[in-house]
Every structure is written in structure tokens, then in C-alpha cells.
Amino acid sequence: MSPAHPVPADDTGTSLAPPCALGALWVVRHGQSTANRAFALAERSGTTALPVSGRDRDVPLSPLGLAQAHALGDWLAGRPPATGPDLVVCSPFTRARQTWQAMADRARRGGAAPLPVLVDERLRDREMGVFELHPPAALRARAPEEADRRARLGEWWYRPPGGEALTDVAVRVGQFVSDLQRAAPSRRVLVVAHDAVVIGLHHVLAGIGAPAPDRLPPVPNASVSSWRGDGQRLHPESWGDTAHLTDLGSPDGDAPA
């Protein structure tokens, strides 16, 4: 398991980064979910059936995802005093809230102090509309023309019927960051959310004129991406760091869900 990807950079060199008064920002993608695992197994088997039923927001962690969340708790407890998060904001989705709860329980057992926690709807995962919980093979079997449109447009711009493009996620995430930095200047904030949120944050914090992030490295389950603040703006520090997961072995898969 790779400990981290290189920090993505603005390859134009001409973006204007927005002001941001946060002291630091860490963004954790939730641990492996039951849908992540089911999607990976479906991809390997080639099945076109829907491997998961119900609502996306109700999808829980898999056993591996819970173990990953405990490892994140050890990471949190191991932060040097007065350098780690002092505020947590979490996605409302079950898998993100379970990730934070397991992190918090493990960190407290490791001696970490409890942290204030808020839940914000703008940190929800990307909405896939009529294709909610459809892995790629199931989407192609049900709507081949729509699958072709998705491939033609690219993931950053593709908006499924009734759902969101990643551009839409970036808009709501940008509003969240703007509100957060005004409400919590100098705070060191931990966000627990989804890969779409991490990608949206990267784009927003890169600033006006930043290129579309259609070639970003993946955001693994239970990874940590971080930015450090200087009182004026946030600077990227790490991307998709999984060094804390090295003892857990390889996951069955971490396809988005």
C-alpha cells in the first residue's frame, strides 16, 4: 500500500489562491464501505447486477473499513500536542460518521482529548441521481448511451440524470470552506468525508484559474490529505497519505461509492 501520492500542483502556475484563515486542514476519506468492496468484487467478476441496494447515504463500513478507521484513530492520537485538529466537521453519510466515531473512540483510548464535532450536509458524497449505487458495468448494461456520454465528457464534467458532476460538488464544497474559515479563523480542522469532497477541496483551494482536476491521483479509503495555513491561505502538504494503514494489508478494492 502506497503511503502517499505526490501533492498535486497547479500545472499552469497562474491560479490565484483564495484567502483562507484556517490554521490547518486535514481531510480524511471514510474507510472502506460495504459498497466499495461490493463494487470491486463486481468489477472483477464482470457481473452487471446491482451489488448493493438501498440508499447511498446509508451504506456502512466494511470490517476492513472499521479497522482502517481504528488506524486513523491511532494516527490522530499520535499527533504532537497542540498541532493536531481542534475541530471536526463530518459528512452526514453513515460511512463517514462511522469512520469518525471509530477514530474518536480509538484516539481517546490512546490518550487524545475529545474534539467538538459538527455535521455539514455540504460534505455529502457526490449524488449520482438515477444511477445511485450503480457500478460501471451495471450502468453500461442499463443505459449504454449514458455510459458512452460519461466516457466522452470525463468524470469531472459528467452529470448523471438527477445527480451531480464533480463541478457541482466543488461549488458546495467551496461555499463550505468560505463559511468555515470565517466562522473558525485559526482553527485546525479535520474533515471526514468522501473522495469527491477531497477532489473538490483541492480544486477550490488551488484558486481561480486552476485547471480541472481530471488527472488527479486517487484518494484511497482512510487516506489523509492535508493543507497547512499561514494565516493568509492554505498550502497543500500531503495527498492520499496511507502510511498509517501499512499494517492492514491490501483492501479488496476502494472504488468510489
Write out pLDDT tens, residues 150-207: 999 999 999 999 999 999 999 999 999 999 999 999 999 999 999 999 999 999 999 9
Radius of gyration of the chain (CA): 18
117 near 90, Cβ under 8 Å?
yes
Q: State the pLDDT at residue 161.
A: 97
Write out pLDDT tens, residues 125-139: 999 999 999 999 999
Backbone φ and ψ of 170, nearest 5°:
-60, -35
Please state, for a pLDDT cut of 90, what percent of the chain lies above it: 84
Task: Tell me: pLDDT of 87 over 50.
Answer: yes
pLDDT confidence of 4, banded at 50, 70, 90?
low
Task: Tell me: pLDDT of 22 over 50.
Answer: yes
CA dist list (Å): 68 to 56, 100, 244: 20, 11, 9
**What does pTM read for this prediction?**
0.92
Q: Is 76 exposed, middle or buried (0-12, 13-18, 19+ CB in 10 A)?
A: buried
Q: What is the DSSP track for 90-108?
A: E-SSHHHHHHHHHHHHHHH
Mean per-residue pLDDT over the chain, rounded: 92
- The pairing of strands 224-229 and 188-193 is unpaired
- The pairing of strands 234-241 and 188-193 is unpaired
Per-residue burial over 49-59, b = 16 or more CB atoms within 10 Å of its CB, e = otherwise = ebbbeeebbeb
Task: Tell me: pLDDT of 103 over 80.
Answer: yes
Task: Tell me: pLDDT of 257 over 50.
Answer: no
Please state, for a pLDDT cut of 70, what percent of the chain lies above it: 92
Amino acid at 32: Q
Helix locations, 4-156, DSSP H: 34-45, 63-77, 94-109, 136-142, 144-153
Assign residue 186 a region (left: φ > 0; alpha: ψ between -120 and 50; beta: otherwise): left
Backbone φ and ψ of 58, nearest 5°:
-95, 0
Residue with grid cell 490518550, as numbered in its chain: 111
Q: State the pLDDT at residue 214.
A: 81
* Class of 24-33+63-129+162-245 in CATH: alpha beta
Domain locations in the chain as residue ranges: 24-33+63-129+162-245
* DSSP run (H or E) holding 7: none
248 near 63, Cβ under 8 Å?
no
